[in-house]
Amino acid sequence: MTDRFPGQEGDPAAGEPAPAADEWLIYRGAGEPHDGIRALPEPPPWRDFDGRPLVAPGPETDSASTRRLGAYRHLAEMHRPSAEELEIINAALYLRRPLLVTGSPGTGKSTLAHSVAYELGLGRVLRWPIVSRTTLGDGLYHYDAIARLQDTQIAASSRADGPPSATSPGGIGSYLRLGPLGTALLPTARPRVLLIDELDKSDIDLPNDLLNVLEEGEFSLPELERIAEREPEVEVLTDDGAKVTVRDGRVRCHAFPFVVLTSNGERDFPAPLLRRCIHLEIGKPDHERLATVVRAHLGDELTRVGEDLIARFLERSRTEQLATDQLLNAIYLTHHAEPPTRDRLADMLIQRLDRPR
């Protein structure tokens, strides 16, 4: 950390030049990893958290996570936010506030989270996909009380029917697993990146339920609080598959996570949630950004072949609701076909989403 706030004017008396206008940016949207997160200033007093003891972020523990990281690394390298988007994203980093990203499907809302994580070296993105049945508890942790009861009954039965068994049920920590939100709030030295995807799909109560957790940066596990006097420290699993120690049944963050909440704009959110977030609205992509997305997924050759489809997609998107996924599907499939089959396949795959068929 430096004494001077990034972006502050240099000291002429000391012969220090004034920094560039964008020097305050921590996330630069350049698609290249760097250690700029080390220059992030201390949080404002009202967003300063003191969670202890510090824990290490979880590793990539499975092949699926590794494949996802490789795929999103490529997208992050191709992702180029505008100057205004960069300022809003960095405002969320500085202020330790959630970033609410709204925009049409396929505009790069989710990719933004992966781009920040990749460029700033913040590890795997913790993703929490939202559906209508999702509750706050799903994001915080899961306690498998039924499995614990079954294991206890099996162990008791084994002791009654024969010699002592070599296996016995583990402690309560063996049946607790933190969710994506719970893992993001662990006290790590550097912030984790949490993607709360498609919040507008949630039940009406979830946005309000999130308020206290996002404001206080902590939550409790009642199952562990009840036994805190005799077991003050309990090891539990995280969303990464690693084991961490929870003390006194509470989790409190140290570095507030970089939280990205995405919305397709299908509903309005309560004012208290909006007040706690930094809002970024991503408009419909222009030709350059759309070509960049296609190139990131399909490569230079298919981007060149699909130039006409990109142009048609942009023209139609002015008056119709379309998704970038439709364009990607059309370019991939139609490069195997010749006209007029190619045009027919493209029209079949790129159909407007704002009108029932």
pLDDT per residue over 230-255, tens digit each?
Answer: 999 999 999 999 999 999 999 999 99
Residue 129 to residue 109: CA distance in whole angstroms: 13
In sequence order, the 6+-apart residues with CB closer than 8 A to the CB of 315 are none
Q: What are phi and psi of 226, to 5 degrees?
A: -65, -25
pLDDT value at residue 68:
52
Query: Are 292 and 271 in a shared domain?
Result: no
Could you list the residue range(s) of the whole structural domain that residue 301 is in?
A: 287-349
Q: How many helices (H) and strands (E) does the chain have?
A: 13, 11
Q: Is the peptide bond before 340 cis (omega within 30 degrees of 0)?
A: yes
Residue 160 in any domain: the answer is: no
- Decide: 207 and 199 in contact? Cβ < 8 Å: yes
Residue 277 in any domain: the answer is: yes
In sequence order, the 6+-apart residues with CB closer than 8 A to the CB of 234 are 171, 172, 173, 176, 224, 227, 245, 246, 249
Q: What are phi and psi of 99, to 5 degrees?
A: -105, 115
CATH number at residue 220: 3.40.50.300
Query: Are 124 and 38 in a shared domain?
Result: yes
Residue 101 to residue 91: CA distance in whole angstroms: 13
Of 230, 259, 281, which residue is a domain's last?
281
Residue 78 to residue 69: CA distance in whole angstroms: 14
pLDDT value at residue 8:
42
Query: Are 186 and 268 in a shared domain?
Result: yes
Q: Three-state DSSP class for 241?
A: coil
Residue 294 to residue 307: CA distance in whole angstroms: 10
Q: Retrieve residue 273's tokens.
A: 């949630």
Element (DSSP H or E) covering residue 78 = helix 63-78
Q: Three-state DSSP class for 251?
A: strand
pLDDT value at residue 164:
45
Query: Are 314 and 211 in a shared domain?
Result: no
Q: What are phi and psi of 150, to 5 degrees?
A: -60, -45
In sequence order, the 6+-apart residues with CB closer than 8 A to the CB of 70 are none
Residue 333 to residue 8: CA distance in whole angstroms: 52
User: The pTM is what?
Assistant: 0.83
Q: Three-state DSSP class for 273?
A: helix
Q: Retrieve residue 47's tokens.
A: 């967003």
Going residue by residue through the chain, which has 357 residues, state the pLDDT in tens, using 9 for 90 and above: 443 434 444 444 445 544 455 789 999 988 889 999 999 999 999 999 999 888 887 654 344 444 455 555 666 655 678 889 999 999 999 999 999 999 887 778 888 998 999 999 999 999 999 999 999 999 999 998 888 888 888 877 776 655 544 344 668 999 999 999 999 999 999 999 999 999 999 999 999 999 999 999 999 999 999 999 999 999 999 999 999 999 999 999 999 999 999 998 888 999 999 999 999 998 888 888 888 888 878 889 999 999 999 999 999 988 888 888 899 999 999 988 888 888 899 999 999 887 755
Residue 161 in any domain: the answer is: no
Residue 89 in any domain: the answer is: yes
- Decide: 293 and 78 in contact? Cβ < 8 Å: yes
pLDDT value at residue 165:
41
pLDDT value at residue 77:
58
Of 236, 251, 281, which residue is a domain's last?
281
Element (DSSP H or E) covering residue 89 = helix 83-95
Nearest to 241 by CA among 59, 55, 53, 54: 59
Q: What angle do CA 240, 241, 245 make, to 5 degrees?
A: 95
Could you give the number of structural domains in the chain?
2
Each residue of 125-144: b (16+ CB within 10 Å) or e? bbbbebeeebebebbbbebe
The Cα-based distances of 238 to 257, 293, 313 in angstroms read: 15, 32, 42
Of 281, 296, 315, which residue is a domain's last?
281
DSSP assignment, residue 260?
A: E
pLDDT value at residue 166:
37
In sequence order, the 6+-apart residues with CB closer than 8 A to the CB of 53 are 187, 245, 247
Residue 130 in any domain: the answer is: yes
